[in-house]
């Protein structure tokens, strides 16, 4: 279904997607001059996903058309679903939970529409899910090779999308707890490996491209700039993109150090504003959090509406990408999102006293994502990753509810 949708929707490129795909195509032609221009000076971390796109173009002789990459997204989504189902089997040790996860994934139409967005989110998520699954396999088989494979997969996930660091940090925390509780030094090997691989793969990739044009991309938009922007107002919603980070780096003469100083000043201004006006602070963060976590499409409909189409939209595709806040697709996605949230809440209700560390992995990742995006730049598309990770919890919630219902009725 996903392949049929992306082929027939024929959604093109703009924004980051356009910059990355067009650059990757130019690289396949031996033209690296675009590295000296604005985009990669601001965002050198995007070279990880760009390199993957360049590799696929080279292998399959693709051009800068978006559709083949959307199909890659669909394939990676399918592999993500397989990983989620297998993960359920290792975490919950019940085949029924894995089966329910598969059914819930099957009805997640949001994910299919999300695949039209040519970016690193879906591919990175696939590597993260498999990295988590392989990690849990070590807890079952105690073979260090699983930790090594997991560290590599997570390193690749981070190379493609830096937000994967939230998953990495969560597994490092779990590893520290295991190491203390079980006196198992192999978890220390995992921590060191995943840190080294995450940093080195990204650094080496950037250095390879730097050498192509003999340029230096060390100076880039500092991370703290996204924090400053995440604490500011935006036309879209509180904490969303407002151009501050880009403009700040340009105004700083493309100097990271100067940009950091400016960002720190802006953060202090925002903190003073929050301290002086508690009601404003409440409204700001309430609006910021709800605009991300209570946005059922995760921008999947907006991707189609805001991007050019290779063909004139007709039929179901015209319906889907017009009036995106008030059509059947939106209402279905809203129902599905609330359904998953409700089941996830049931999971937490029934597992409040469960201290199994494997059960804590996904909630810890979600908590990390919630905290990060409550402070840094907001985008509902980033929440898609954590939403899909809720599916195993929701599936377990169904099983727990069924068991609870049986107990109640049996007592009667």
Span of 72-81, 164-173, 199-208, 396-405 with lowest mean pLDDT: 396-405
Residue 45 CA to residue 19 CA, distance in Å, equals 13
Q: What is the DSSP string of 49-106?
A: HHHHHHHHHHHHT--S-SHHHHHHHHHHHHHHHHHHHHHHHHHH--HHHHHHHHHHHH
Whose tokens are 């050019």? That residue is: 308
Listed in sequence order, the residues at least 6 apart from 44 whose beta carbon sits closer than 8 Å to its beta carbon are: 206, 209, 217, 220
Please write the tens of the pLDDT for every residue from 272-301: 999 999 999 999 999 999 999 999 999 998
The alpha carbon of residue 306 and the mean position of all alpha carbons in its chain are separated, in whole angstroms, by: 20
Higher pLDDT pick, 194 / 402: 194
Please write the tens of the pLDDT for every residue from 372-408: 999 999 999 999 999 999 999 999 999 988 777 777 6
**At CB < 8 A and 24+ separation, what contacts does 200-208 make?**
200/155, 201/48, 201/155, 201/156, 201/158, 201/159, 202/45, 202/48, 202/158, 202/159, 202/162, 205/47, 205/48, 205/51, 205/159, 206/44, 206/45, 206/47, 208/51
Contact 36, 95 (CB under 8 A): no
Mean pLDDT of the residues in the chain? 92
Pull the structure tokens for residue 153. 């997969």
Which pLDDT value is given to residue 411?
Answer: 63
Residue 157 CA to residue 125 CA, distance in Å, equals 7
Burial of 160 (0-12, 13-18, 19+ CB in 10 A): buried
State the pTM of this model.
Answer: 0.94
CA distances from 19 to 5, 46, 159, 286 (A): 24, 10, 18, 33
Statement: residue 102 has pLDDT above 90: yes
Statement: residue 409 has pLDDT above 80: no
Which pLDDT value is given to residue 128?
Answer: 97
Please write the tens of the pLDDT for every residue from 203-236: 999 999 999 888 888 888 899 999 999 999 999 8
Whose tokens are 């394939």? That residue is: 75
Residue 310 CA to residue 300 CA, distance in Å, equals 18
- Mean pLDDT on 33-39: 86
Q: Where are the beta strands (DSSP E) in 80-203?
A: none
């Amino acid at each position: 279904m996903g392949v049929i949708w992306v082929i027939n929707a024929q959604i093109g490129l703009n924004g980051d997607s356009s910059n990355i795909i067009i650059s990757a195509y130019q690289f396949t032609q031996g033209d690296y001059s675009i590295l000296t221009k604005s985009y990669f000076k601001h965002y050198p971390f995007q070279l990880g996903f760009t390199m993957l796109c360049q590799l696929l173009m080279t292998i399959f002789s693709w051009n800068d058309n978006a559709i083949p990459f959307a199909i890659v997204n669909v394939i990676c989504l399918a592999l993500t679903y397989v990983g989620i189902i297998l993960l359920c089997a290792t975490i919950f040790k019940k085949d029924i939970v894995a089966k329910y996860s598969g059914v819930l994934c099957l009805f997640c139409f949001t994910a299919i529409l999300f695949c039209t967005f040519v970016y690193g989110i879906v591919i990175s998520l696939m590597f993260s899910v498999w990295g988590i699954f392989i990690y849990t396999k070590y807890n079952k088989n105690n073979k260090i090779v699983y930790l090594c494979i997991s560290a590599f997969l997570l390193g690749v996930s981070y190379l493609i999308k830096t937000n994967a660091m939230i998953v990495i940090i969560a597994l490092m925390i779990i590893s520290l707890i295991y190491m203390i509780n079980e006196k198992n030094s192999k978890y220390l090997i995992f921590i060191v490996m995943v840190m080294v691989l995450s940093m080195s793969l990204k650094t080496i990739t950037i250095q390879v491209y730097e050498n192509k044009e003999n340029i230096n991309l060390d100076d880039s938009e500092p991370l703290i700039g996204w924090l400053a922007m995440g604490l500011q107002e935006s036309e879209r919603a509180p904490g969303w993109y407002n151009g501050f980070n880009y403009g700040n780096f340009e105004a700083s003469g493309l100097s990271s150090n100067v940009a950091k100083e400016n960002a720190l000043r802006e953060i202090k201004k925002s903190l003073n504003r929050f301290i002086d006006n508690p009601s404003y602070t409440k409204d700001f963060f309430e609006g910021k959090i709800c605009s991300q976590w209570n946005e059922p499409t995760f921008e999947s409909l907006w991707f189609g509406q805001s991007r050019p189409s290779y063909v004139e939209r007709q039929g179901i595709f015209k319906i889907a990408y017009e009036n995106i806040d008030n059509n059947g697709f939106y209402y279905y996605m809203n129902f599905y999102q609330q359904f998953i949230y409700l089941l996830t809440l049931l999971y937490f209700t029934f597992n409040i006293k469960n201290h199994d560390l494997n059960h804590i992995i996904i909630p810890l990742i979600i908590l990390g994502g919630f905290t990060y995006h409550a402070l840094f730049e907001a985008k509902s598309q980033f929440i898609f990753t954590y939403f899909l990770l809720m599916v195993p919890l929701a599936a377990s919630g169904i099983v727990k509810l069924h068991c609870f219902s049986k107990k109640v009725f049996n007592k009667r």
